[in-house]
Amino acid sequence: MNLDTFLIWTVCLSCVSIFLRATPSPSYRGWTLVSGGILAIVALLVYFVPEWAAIVGGGLWGILVLVPLIGFAQVNRLINQQQYAKASRISAYLRWLHPADGWLEHPPILRALERAWQGHREEAWQYLQHYNAETKPIGRHAIAIFYAMDARWQDLQDWIEESIPQRVLKQELNLLLYYLRSLGETGQINELLHRIQQYERILDKGDRSNSLHLVRMFAFAFCGQVDEVVRLFKRALSSYDRAYQDFWCLTALMAAGQERTARQKLIKLAQENNGLLESAISWRLAHPPPFAARILNNASQTFLFQMRDTWGQDIRYGRVFSLKPQKARITYSLIGINLIFFALEIYLGGSENLEILYSLGALIPEAAWDGEWWRFILANFLHFGYIHLIANMFALYLFGPFVELNLGIWRYLCVYGISGIGTMVGFAFWVERFGDPDTILVGASAAIMGAIGATAAILLRGWRLDRSRMALKRLRLILLIILSQTAFDFVIPQVSFFAHTSGLVLGFGVGWAVSYSNSH
């Protein structure tokens, strides 16, 4: 497999995923047009001018998909940090890439928020009205921020309930988050829990898990569940800065009945903070949350208990793969071993030199059956070219930590070793009977597919035993990945369908067995 083929597949899979997720929502029509357009262009180029397909498709994907995704993630981060001027400057460049999504209005509305942050509230409000902010998603988000700046939570709640239709509230996540928080800030704890229960499935759609965790944190804080708030910030919401975490932990302490202690620490936090939490702390000191244990009704207490159980399952099964480094030493050690072997290939003469691969232990069935049994092991750490190595190590980086953290070190090594070595042995048997005994096989693909198979086993058991919606949702995603890989195997002749399928089946079987023993 060459770089062009790898790039075309990456672009197509990414655009198909975006197209399927964006099409049902009218507010994402720009993403539908962009992803669909790139797919159509790549398909035409592959058919008529194949030598241009990778460079044109990759270029369009980079400019119209990758740059906007990274850029607007940065814009949202800056908005959350109340750095509206920087957010406006970045939006001024990005808006031309997706004009159909309403991004053209982002910079002026963000400039209005910057004026409000500087204290020019009346001028900023008139600016928002001038741009008919209430008719645009970014404008409605800006109005919500405007109210939150001065901790006008009751005004925010009234505005949303009187002016925002339910269908809009369900579509615009930022608005929904502010509304739910306003219920807690105004002491309506039972109503807050009722609304979370009402909107839980909406918050649980797609890639909104972080928002769902944030809403749960609001609920736990206003209900005085200090330990749950601490756990959420330690695991699911660890990216938030320390001052923000301390603010909500102290809010939970207040709601738990320890107002005097929390008040002293909030005053100290206000003195140490750079102003980002000034209005929130002032509001909290002036309007402390009620003692939750006295006002929670039976329905709220039941839902609170269910929410504690559910979020633990979401954490366990939700992070099937992650780009963020995790505490997975064995996975990273395996990646290191593969890199060492690849460096050795390069040092000795090249990673695509068959003689070098043979000397380092590539699997040639005839040689393995003649007594060179170590080839069944070493072949799992050799790779044919940079693309082969990068694709496999990236997949191991994504999927390995989940299996390692769920099964433990030794069970994980069993999955990895049996999938890889077992596939090599099975391949040697297959080739001896039906193929060319001089066929060469290298790569960690079988072991990595074993990790994916084990992931499916863990999720299936989680759905069956824990009835976890998150486990079922992630299982569907894994099945989609497996189907995509199967299609890839059939299209690319250099890829071993046998090795991938064997590794997947072995990984699922071993993963199912060891996850069963782990659960008992």
pLDDT tens, position by position, 158-208: 999 999 999 889 888 889 999 999 999 999 999 999 999 999 888 877 566
What's the rounded Cα separation, in Å, for the pair 468 and 238? Answer: 23
pLDDT tens, position by position, 462-513: 998 888 888 888 898 899 888 888 877 776 655 578 889 999 999 999 999 9
Sequence-distant (≥ 6) Cβ neighbours of residue 356 within 8 angstroms = 345, 348, 349, 350
- Token pair recorded at residue 80: 């959350």
- What pairs with residue 63 in β-bridges? none
Quick check: 287 pLDDT over 90? yes
Tell me which residue of 458, 434, 442 sits closest to 499, measured CA to CA.
442
What's the rounded Cα separation, in Å, for the pair 99 and 506? Answer: 48
Tell me which residue of 271, 511, 342, 277 sits closest to 413, measured CA to CA.
511
Confidence band, pLDDT 50/70/90 cuts, at residue 430 = confident
- What local confidence, expressed as pLDDT, does residue 96 receive? 85
Evaluate whether 216 touches 311 at the Cβ level (below 8 Å): yes
- What local confidence, expressed as pLDDT, does residue 492 receive? 66
Number of Cβ atoms within 10 Å of the Cβ of 216: 25
Provide the residue type at 150 as one letter: D
Q: Decide: helix, strand or coil at residue 363.
A: strand
Tell me which residue of 474, 504, 489 sits closest to 322, measured CA to CA.
474
What's the rounded Cα separation, in Å, for the pair 112 and 121? Answer: 9
- Looking at per-residue pLDDT, the higher value among 2 and 517 belongs to 2
Quick check: 274 pLDDT over 60? no
Quick check: 273 pLDDT over 80? no
Instruction: Indicate the average pLDDT of the chain.
Output: 87
Quick check: 518 pLDDT over 70? no
Domain ranges of the chain: 3-66, 161-318, 329-519
Number of Cβ atoms within 10 Å of the Cβ of 93: 11
What's the rounded Cα separation, in Å, for the pair 419 and 454? Answer: 10
- What local confidence, expressed as pLDDT, does residue 62 receive? 94
pLDDT tens, position by position, 342-366: 999 999 988 889 999 999 999 998 8
What's the rounded Cα separation, in Å, for the pair 502 and 262? Answer: 58
Number of Cβ atoms within 10 Å of the Cβ of 510: 23
- pTM comes to 0.77
Highest mean pLDDT among 58-62, 73-77, 146-150: 58-62
Known active-site residue 287: no
- What local confidence, expressed as pLDDT, does residue 186 receive? 95
What's the rounded Cα separation, in Å, for the pair 149 and 283? Answer: 11
Catalytic residue among 91, 300, 351, 445: 445
Confidence band, pLDDT 50/70/90 cuts, at residue 304 = very high
DSSP string for residues in 36-47: HHHHHHHHHHHH
Class of domain 329-519: mainly alpha
Q: Work out the angle at residue 162's Cα, subtended by the Cα atoms of residues 156 and 164, and round it to the nearest 5 degrees.
A: 80
Evaluate whether 420 touches 503 at the Cβ level (below 8 Å): yes
Tell me which residue of 203, 162, 156 sits closest to 183, measured CA to CA.
156
What's the rounded Cα separation, in Å, for the pair 250 and 259? Answer: 9
Catalytic residue among 209, 300, 500, 515: 500
Confidence band, pLDDT 50/70/90 cuts, at residue 95 = confident
Q: Could you tell me how far CA 403 lies from the centroid of its own chain?
A: 16
- Looking at per-residue pLDDT, the higher value among 326 and 30 belongs to 30
Quick check: 300 pLDDT over 90? yes
- Token pair recorded at residue 422: 């077992």
Quick check: 131 pLDDT over 70? no
Q: What is the mean pLDDT of residues 299-316?
A: 86
- What local confidence, expressed as pLDDT, does residue 271 receive? 85
Sequence-distant (≥ 6) Cβ neighbours of residue 24 within 8 angstroms = none
Q: What is the DSSP letter of 245?
A: H
Burial tier of 18 (Cβ tally within 10 Å: 0-12, 13-18, 19+): buried
What's the rounded Cα separation, in Å, for the pair 75 and 129? Answer: 22
What's the rounded Cα separation, in Å, for the pair 186 and 192? Answer: 10
Evaluate whether 504 touches 482 at the Cβ level (below 8 Å): yes
Q: How many CA atoms lie within 13 A of 148 on its CB side?
A: 23
Q: What is the DSSP letter of 520?
A: -
Look at the alpha carbons of 131, 135, 139, 144 in this order and tell me if their dihedral is positive or negative. positive
Known active-site residue 445: yes
Residue 371 has φ and ψ, to the nearest 5°, of 120, -10
Range 99-108, long-range pairs (CB < 8 A, 24+ positions): 99/30, 100/29, 100/30, 100/33, 101/27, 101/28, 101/29, 101/30, 101/31, 102/27, 102/136, 102/137, 102/138, 103/30, 103/72, 103/138, 105/131, 105/136, 105/138, 105/139, 106/75, 106/138
Confidence band, pLDDT 50/70/90 cuts, at residue 288 = very high
